[in-house]
Amino acid sequence: MCCTDMALAYVEAHASWSEANTKPSLARDYKAFVARARDGSARAEFAVEGVRCAACMATIEHGLAGMPGVARARLNFSDRRLAVEWTPDAEPDVGGVIGALSDLGYNAQPFDPGRPPDAEAAEMRRLVRALAVAGFASMNVMLLAISVWAGNVSDMAPENRDLFHWIQAVIALPAAAYAGRPFYEGAFRGLRAGRVTMDFPITLGVVLTLIMSVVETLSGAAHAYFDGAIMLLFFLLIGRVLDQTMRRRTRAFAENLATLRCETAARVEADGSVREVPVGELLAGCRILVRPGERVPADGTVERGASDLDQSLVTGETAAVTVRCGDRVYAGALNGNGAITVQVTAAAGATLLDEVEGLMRRALEVRSRALVLADKATRLYVPVVHAAAALTLVGWLAVGAGWHAALLAAVSVLIITCPCALGLAIPAVQVAAAGALFREGVLLGDGTALERFAEIDTVVFDKTGTLTLPEPALADADVDVGALAQAARLARSSRHPMAAALAQAASPAEPYPGAQEAAGLGVRAFVDGVELRLGSPRFCDAELCAAAALDAIPDASVICFRAGDTAPVAFAVRQEVRPDAVDVIAALRAAGRRVVILSGDRASAVASVAGRLGVAEWESGLAPQDKISRLEALGRAGRRVLMVGDGLNDAPALAAAHASLSPVTAAHVSQAAADALFLGRNLAPVLAVLSTGRKAKRLMLQNLWMAAAYNVIAIPLAASGLLTPLIAALAMSGSSLVVTLNALRARVGDGAERVDTAVDAKPEARLVTSAA
């Protein structure tokens, strides 16, 4: 090889190395992040940084739609997750998508639920620091500005005024340079991608105001406008921090679902040996061993053994379910006290856990589309402001005014129309309403849900853990006290929730020594030569006694006790209805709202609760897909549905509903999917979110109308030259103050829709449709 060839080879190798290092997407293998569907299509998800508004979402989706092989690109605005789907005949190019996003001005990486959210946490810290700097600078600059304003009235000496201006400059310029970086960078990214975002007029207004202020200070003029620039940044950063806070909870969904997954499984080989393998290597038909305390790694059927499993992912019920040979188990279920061998029927990627995650992801993607419509006014605002400022500048120059007067009027238009009031119109109400709800025992997770709460005309409840309390209790007060005392001592040796209910119902006592728990059956002990048993009816040979107890209390579960050859005793245990559930349901119906119960529990239990609460519409035995279909049917009928649920199986329904609410005792995934959580044992917070949401929406609309009216009046005044930048800054600050004070009204309840214990909540004459 000649020297020239060697040189060319070196240059090509160096260029390839440089490109791979400057564009890391070209140097990595992303096959592990691509999921293939049965039809051959592929899908990958990305975590995208720098998404600020619906315009960003539209830019990304339209920009990727033109890539070869891309069938669809959908960005979820709430958690900034981008889903890209490729056609069956296309080769998925994950690196190409990352490169295309980089060209559009956004950093992205494949979404990994197990990866800690370092970028998001760093962004939050950055915003909080910027807010702190802007707040400190605003207070000090405003204090100096007030002194100058007062001095202008009382003939302050010019040298003192100039000194105050220079002090303001020393404080405001570095503070604005630091605190305004999120807006400057957003504006630059937008321009780089050939679009103008809301960050651009903010940046233009701040920069021009600071330049004008420096020029005025250098020339010894009477006015400077540092206070207007730094206060604008302060108020807008408040809104940005609130937005980031609301979005942080959304990531919890993927993280909490990830905790239900297993990395490895104990596969039973053909020779009977057990081998730890990655879950991805499991296939339908193979056998796995699930030890006590482990989670089930795949869907399957119990082939050997018995145990108590937490299968709330399927049933939504908190009580453990006893499984034996032939029973189905599902990935993510937590095994109790016995080892079981399971034959796999659906492995990783096809389990019910995967289906629940997919249902919720699709529901969130559909919801995010509404944000595009909500951002239309914002997109119109930017060109209107720029056009108004440009026309003001041109108009003044056309009538013979000098550059100074023309620029002063144009800057006044930009300052007075800066979207401070618009930026605060919604977040200020969200903060005030969130505080009001917190006092009512409600933790608001999604500030955008306030408007949806106001539109609710139908409330759908899950039963177990929502209408009822999460912990079971003894249902029959007329029991044999002696038998209860003995059963309670045995119960203290068991980890079953029903046993815990017996232990709490009796007086405290030590457990029997030597008590042993039989997996999936119950607990036994020998006391003075007599065998004591507590557990299932079969374990205690008490089927007839248990049947009689269930006939008396249909919505209860039964745990039996037997001492030697004496007659068995059946204890009815159930989850009691929340203390104010009857009054809350009555108040909802009195307000004209439709009330429905959708539950995964058995028909007799749901019917009993519905009858006690006076709810005419209920369904039982529903799987997650069934709840989704019921909500979709209500939506097609024009109903605005509030879903109140707590189980893992309720997570997709919570995400698909118009708005959602969960008790704080709910499963982690349901908490992440819900728009709000409520504390305590009462259901009154359901009424609180509806009344507060209605008031918050009214205040949001008032704020938006006031902000719009302010701009309609202010722009002509500023363009006419009647307002200096100082007055424009004062007007801008005044509009923000008015909007904020109006938003604080959300902290005061209007007394609407509270629980009236005098309301008669008698059951209606009929109970409809029961799907077993």
Question: What b-and-e string marks burial along 151-190, b requiring 16 or more CB atoms within 10 Å of the CB?
Answer: beeeebeeeebbebbeebbebbbebbeebbebbbebbebb
Distance CA 517, CA 513 (A): 12
Alpha-carbon dihedral 272, 275, 278, 284, rounded to 10 degrees: 0
pLDDT at 287 > cutoff 90 = yes
Distance CA 474, CA 481 (A): 13
- Rg (alpha carbons) of the chain, rounded to whole number: 32
| CATH code of the region 441-468+578-689 | 3.40.50.1000
pLDDT confidence of 649, banded at 50, 70, 90? Answer: low
Alpha-carbon dihedral 91, 93, 96, 97, rounded to 10 degrees: 120
* Cβ-contact 653, 628 below 8 angstroms: yes
Q: Give 425-460 pLDDT, tens digit per residue.
A: 776 677 778 778 877 878 776 656 778 898 999 999
Higher local confidence (pLDDT), 536 or 326? 536
Given this model, what pLDDT does residue 363 score?
46
Q: Give 743-772 pLDDT, tens digit per residue.
A: 778 776 654 455 443 333 333 323 333 332
Alpha-carbon dihedral 683, 685, 686, 691, rounded to 10 degrees: 150
Q: Give 217-232 pLDDT, tens digit per residue.
A: 888 877 787 887 888 7
Active site residue 462: yes
3-state SS assignment for residue 36:
strand
Mean pLDDT of 403-422: 74
Q: Which of 421, 469, 418 is nearest to 683 (CA)?
A: 469
Given this model, what pLDDT does residue 53 score?
61
3-state SS assignment for residue 452:
helix
Mean pLDDT of 71-82: 77
Distance CA 71, CA 65 (A): 7
* Least confident range of 25-34, 380-389, 687-696: 25-34
pLDDT at 173 > cutoff 90 = yes
Q: What is the enclosing helix (H) or strand (E) of 358?
A: helix 352-368
From 79, 327, 462, 675, the catalytic residue = 462
Distance CA 665, CA 663 (A): 5
3-state SS assignment for residue 483:
helix
Instruction: Tell me how many degrees the CA angle 323-328-329 measures, rounded to the nearest 5.
Output: 80
Distance CA 673, CA 656 (A): 9
Instruction: Tell me how many degrees the CA angle 213-217-221 measures, rounded to the nearest 5.
Output: 100
Beta strands per DSSP E along 656-737: 659-663, 676-678
Q: What is the enclosing helix (H) or strand (E) of 44?
A: strand 42-48
Q: What is the mean pLDDT of the chain?
A: 78
pLDDT at 494 > cutoff 90 = no
In this structure, what DSSP letter does residue 27 have? S
Pair of tokens at residue 416? 């007075």
Given this model, what pLDDT does residue 590 score?
93
- The percentage of residues in the chain with a pLDDT greater than 70, rounded to a whole number, is 78
* Cβ-contact 731, 227 below 8 angstroms: no
The residue type of 27 is A
**Which residues, in sequence order, are bridge partners of residue 86?**
42, 70
What ranges do the domains of the chain cover? 32-115, 119-258, 264-359, 375-440+695-752, 441-468+578-689, 470-576
The residues, ordered by sequence, that sit 6+ positions from 95 with a Cβ below 8 Å of its Cβ are 25, 26, 28, 30
In this structure, what DSSP letter does residue 707 have? H
Would the pTM count as exceeding 0.75?
no
CATH class of 119-258: mainly alpha
Classify residue 757 by burial, with Cβ atoms within 10 Å: 0-12, 13-18, 19+. Answer: exposed
Given this model, what pLDDT does residue 644 score?
92
pLDDT at 266 > cutoff 80 = yes
Range 32-115 has CATH code 3.30.70.100: yes
* Cβ-contact 462, 662 below 8 angstroms: no
**Residue 492 backbone dihedrals phi, psi, to 5 degrees:** -70, -5
* Domain range 264-359, CATH architecture: Distorted Sandwich (2.70)
CATH class of 470-576: alpha beta
**569-574 vs 473-474, strand pairing mode:** antiparallel
Distance CA 441, CA 665 (A): 13
**Which residues, in sequence order, are bridge partners of residue 35?**
43
Distance CA 241, CA 412 (A): 27
pLDDT confidence of 551, banded at 50, 70, 90? Answer: confident
